[in-house]
Amino acid sequence: MSTETPAKPLSGRVAVVTGASSGIGEASAEHLAELGAAVAVLARRADRLDDVVARIQKAGGTALAITADVTDEAAVRAAADRVAAELGGADLLFNNAGVMLPAPVEELATDQWKHQIDLNITGLMNAIGAFTPQLVSAAGERGVADLINTSSIAAQNIFPNFAVYSATKAYVTHLSRHLRVELGPKNVRVSAIEPGIVGTELQSHVTDDGALQWLDGSKETMEWLTPQDIAETIGFIACLPPRVNLQQLTIMPTRQPS
């Protein structure tokens, strides 16, 4: 029997995770590092990113904290330059930073509309713009790269008072389908993940009473997903053979109806 330790499946790969200071992004960054990838973690809260990097390094992994606001195009381009200089360029972008601010449309919560559109759409595009050249280049050299965008079950189903959030996520899913066709011939796989409810800080930003009551009530009837559940799904997608592109993946709490 061989005594050699099997190579980690993502050894040699370089992942960038946006929204890595909490929730899904934080858990995914740690999991990708466990699988062997060097990981750049990106968000606004430097102290939280430093904690993530320290944990990854303590476990023997490689990580780089980059404090940046993804709605700032120049900051995201500077982040991409750092990833190229310090880690050799990304071959996996988990494009995950986002915010959910439901409210009845008649309340005209225009600041919240703008916040969701700026982050969930423009921020997502800024990361795609900054990192796609690295993904294409890495795929050319190594035969595979991944762009994984975080959408939501809200992209498919109808949730009263979640119109703006849901529309931003429908954008993410539809964009991902198009980019898969565009980038697939260059060996860049594109996936959209569509989770149901995951217990994270996402719910703590909600101010609408009706939505808060709905979320609270849902805890009585179901066990929410955990960030680790999504992290393992991201790891699964990234570890698939290069010929396999999991285009769209909906992952729901077992008891969540829609």
CB hemisphere CA count around 50 (13 angstroms):
3
Q: Which residues pair with 147 in a beta bridge?
A: 93, 190
Q: Which stretch binds ligand NDP (CB under 6 A): 12-20, 85-93, 181-189, 242-250?
A: 12-20
CB within 8 Å of 202: residues ≥ 6 apart: 23, 98, 99, 100
Q: Distance between terminal CA atoms of the chain?
A: 49
Is 165 a catalytic site residue?
yes
Binding span for ligand NDP by CB under 6 A among 130-138, 156-164, 180-188, 194-202: 194-202
Catalytic residue among 162, 165, 171, 224: 165
Contact segment (CB under 6 A) with ligand NDP among 6-14, 41-49, 82-90, 236-244 equals 41-49
DSSP 202: G
Between residue 99 and residue 118, which ones bind ligand NDP under the rule CB under 6 A? 99-100
Query: Which H or E run includes 196?
Result: none
Kindly tell me which of 61 and 98 has the beta carbon lying closer to ligand NDP: 98
Q: Based on CB atoms, which residue is closest to ligand NDP, 8 or 48?
A: 48
95 touches ligand NDP by CB under 6 A: no
22: contact with ligand NDP by CB under 6 A: yes
Strand-by-strand arrangement of the 14-18 sheet: 63-67, 38-43, 14-18, 92-95, 145-150, 188-195, 248-251
Binding site for ligand NDP (CB under 6 A): 18-25, 43-45, 48, 69-71, 96-100, 119, 123, 150, 152, 195, 197-198, 200-202
Catalytic residue ranges: 165
